[in-house]
Chains A and B, each alone.
Chain A
Amino acid sequence: MEVISTKNLKKEYKGSGFSKERITALKNFSFTVNEGDIFGLLGPNGAGKTTLVKILLGIVYPTEGDASIFGESIKNEKYKTKIGYLPENHKFPNYLTGEQVLHYFGMLSGLSNAQVKSRSDEYLKIVDMEKWKKTKIKKYSKGMMQRLGIAQAMINEPDLIFLDEPTDGVDPIGRKEIRDILIGLKDKGKTIFLNSHLLSEIELICNKVAILNKGELIKEGTIDEITSTGNKHVFTTSDLSDDVINILLNQYFATLHGKNEFIVNSDSAESLNTVIDILRKNNVNILSLTKEKNTLENMFINLIEQQN
């Protein structure tokens, strides 16, 4: 089932001050997220990720286009009871304690007093914040704030959770903890929409990824699809003789990396096997053969550089 779908979304902001120039934060953006997806939206700062999430939540209005959540237009507020949201750099009223934050925002999500009370401890436990629940949040560290923020986003047991840069400003251990919480959510079958400029984050937990740059969707797919480079095969071998190198270069247009590694582009098993035959005939030992994969990071950097 489609949980989120957008059609030709466009967002222009008014420029700052008196300038008439308008900032285009999102261009012709269409995509879908399905039930159970852990969807990662990746892009450099200023790409338009937050803008997209805010449009989906009715915080910012699209200049053009339309979006629907749970199959209904976002113009109708009802879907918001089934949504959790952790804003980027969220700022809860700092005179509240952790527990009171959950209570206040839980009630605002439409829960009853009794529901909030009974769930509050459960979710504080999930994010490991139980022992801090009576402490005013102005004393919390950034990591603790993020964990509380995630508990806040879960308290109404939403079907869809938006997390905008959930690990921003959090130390590596805190990051790992947050990641574990998200993996826990994934195992519960929740649909998660994650905004991040951190690739490792997305690579570790998302099953679908979209890359956004300057408001444009430049690539979308599963992590495998995005990182796959087509049909490049990497051979590592014993030392290659000059003869073999010549054949590889002239007949197979291989790319050589020293005497023990080369890459060939082959689109069929047959042509790949003829390369293997040649190597074997020339007494070259094949140490390993893998399909080349880009890391998401390489992919990302390449794509962004191509655009700029």
Chain B
Amino acid sequence: MIFKTIISGVIKEAIAKKIFIGFFILSTLIILGFLAFVGFDSVEGIATMAGDDIKQLVIGFEGFMLGVSYLLLITFCLIGVSSIIPSMLEKGNVDLLLSKPVSRGQIILGKFTGGLLLIFLSLVYLIGAVWLIVSIKFGYWNPTFLMSIIMLTFSFAVIYSLVIFIGITTQSSVLSIIINIFLIFLICPLLANRETVLFQFITNNVVQFIINFFYYVLPKPSDLQTITVKIISGEKIDSWQPVVTSALFLITFLSASIYIFKKKDY
């Protein structure tokens, strides 16, 4: 009951701070843009296509949409949830929360779950709408596309665990936005393509080892996205390693956040 209150508190906070409405508007814009884009395509062309070609086209569209929304989405979600922990930790607020009959671990888990629920619901709207549009338009229903809701939520959960960790340790939302954007848009893509990019310049074994180490330790949003695209197009996944190591990252940072939160005086 109390746990549920914490979760619904996150959602209410998001509504009050216009995060939900912002997300709704952003998603609607993406959907409308997509609708316009799909509408321009000549219908005759499609009509003459064979079944398999349509399937390819649909998957192509879906993959493209995923790529576009992913960057916008992750950035927006990041900004949306970055203040959840810092605002909870404000003096005069955290004291009262901690005086309630709920453990500190449950508080963090509640905030985590609430944030994920927020992202999940928003993704259901965006991905669901894109899926409906594509499917109705081309008459090919690809339900595995909906798997991307789960994958994106997971991908975000990994980032969110770091947001929570930075929130607990520094109480700064700006810092978590900066660090995460830096990671998601620069470090992680570089690490994911370390063999084709970085190792062209870096030949030293020790440095390569260190870079590999960071690749395995840090979250892998780029790899997760690649896996998601493979899932929706029904391709074989070569390695689940990015999912496993990202999950380990998530568990580590969430546990560390709980541990630190449990130890601290407020």
Contacts and interface: CB of A to CB of B under 8 A. Distances in A.
B266 A60 contact: yes
B101 A59 contact: no
Interface in B85-126: 87, 90-103
Interface in A69-126: 77-78, 80-81, 83, 85, 87-93, 95-96, 104-105, 107-110, 112
Contacts of A109: 100-101
Contact size range, B: 20 to 34
Nearest to B5: A107
Contact size range, A: 20 to 34
Contact of B99 (A57, A61, A93): A57
Given A95-B13, A108-B100, A54 B95 contact: yes
Nearest to B93: A91
Nearest to A56: B99
Contact of B91 (A85, A91, A92, A104): A91
Contacts of A262: none
Given A57-B99, A105-B100, A109-B101, A91 B2 contact: no
B265 interface: yes
B168 to A, nearest CB: 15
A13 interface: yes
A88 B266 CA distance: 12
A80 B99 contact: yes
Given A91-B90, A95-B13, A95-B17, A105 B96 contact: yes
A58 interface: yes
A15 to B, nearest CB: 13
Nearest to A77: B101
A88 B91 CA distance: 9
Given A108-B2, A108-B97, A77 B103 contact: yes
A57 B263 CA distance: 15
Interface of B: 1-2, 5-6, 9, 12-13, 16-17, 87, 90-103, 263, 265-266
Interface of A: 13, 54, 57-61, 77-78, 80-81, 83, 85, 87-93, 95-96, 104-105, 107-110, 112, 152, 162
Given A95-B16, A96-B16, 5 more contacts: A59-B94, A78-B101, A83-B99, A107-B1, A108-B2
